[in-house]
Amino acid sequence: MEYEMEWWGFSKQHGWVVLDRSISSNGPGFQEDLLFFRCRDSMTFTEKREKWNPPQYRFAPNHLRELAAAERIEATAELDALKSLWPERQREMQLELRESAKRAEAARIEEEKKQKEAARKQKEAAREEKSQDATAGQ
């Protein structure tokens, strides 16, 4: 099944938003929270997948269709301007996500090393205690 790589919508809380489907967790069939890009401040935020429904989020064409004529013209121009900026914003967002994933992986590896070191020290202490018990028993 083919789907658009971007979902443009409007939220009363967030204004114009983009759901970038090239981000794997935003794809169909996943249960993870969605990662949206908020256009007004170029920030990302997460949202529970089940909240991605009207009235919280309106698909852009549906939102525009419901506006009065003058508002629709203004909102359409605003949306078109945001879409023209999207490729650069998308690159920035994806770079930020990659860097964040690298930091998370480095932290995971560091935590794993600490756990292994703690387990090694625990084994050494147990061997030392066993050795001392054997020496004391002679």
pLDDT tens-digit profile of 17-54? 999 998 988 988 888 899 999 999 999 999 999 999 99
Q: How large a percentage of the chain has pLDDT more than 70? A: 96
Least confident of 75-79, 98-102, 132-136: 132-136
User: Tokens 């409007």 appear where?
Assistant: 10
| Residue of 5 and 4 predicted with greater confidence | 5
**Helix, strand, or coil here: 55?**
coil
Every domain of the chain and the residues it spans: 6-131
- pLDDT tops 60 at residue 55: yes
Any residues with CB less than 8 A from the CB of 136 and at least 6 apart, and which? none
